[in-house]
Structures are given as structure tokens and as C-alpha cells.
Amino acid sequence: MIGDNETNDEWQYGFQWNLSSDSVPIFYSTIKRSLDRWPGGDPVEQEILSEMHKQAYQMLIERSFREG
């Protein structure tokens, strides 16, 4: 899916994918572990990882709500 944001003459792309309910906790723990063990580097990558962590946590909460 092509986004409509253009930066420095480069297109920004967005992607969507589906996870099974059983995959959500694994996805969340993987993202959390990566963020917790962040070795440093590009701060933009850390911000992206932080946003992914937030979204993964929201998915985890949604899963808990739906499955009781």
C-alpha cells in the first residue's frame, strides 16, 4: 500500500498484515525484548520500535478483552 507522504523525493510505504490471536503475545514479547535491549544507534529506529511496542501492547490488551 503506497502512502501519500513524500519526504526528500522518496515515497513512504505502509504495510498491513494479520496475526493470529495466538501470535499476538509472541509478537509483543519480541518487540518488547528488542526495545529493552536496544543497543543504541539511529534514534529514529528507536522511535519506530517504541511505536511498534505501543501498538503491540494495544493488540495484547484487545486480545485479552476479546478472549476474556
Domain ranges of the chain: 19-67
Q: Which residue has the higher pLDDT, 4 or 37?
A: 37
Query: What is the model's pLDDT at position 17?
Result: 84
Q: Is the dihedral of CA 28, 30, 31, 35 positive or negative?
A: positive
Give the pLDDT band of residue 2 (cuts 50, 70, 90): very low
CA dist 28 and 51 (Å) reads 12
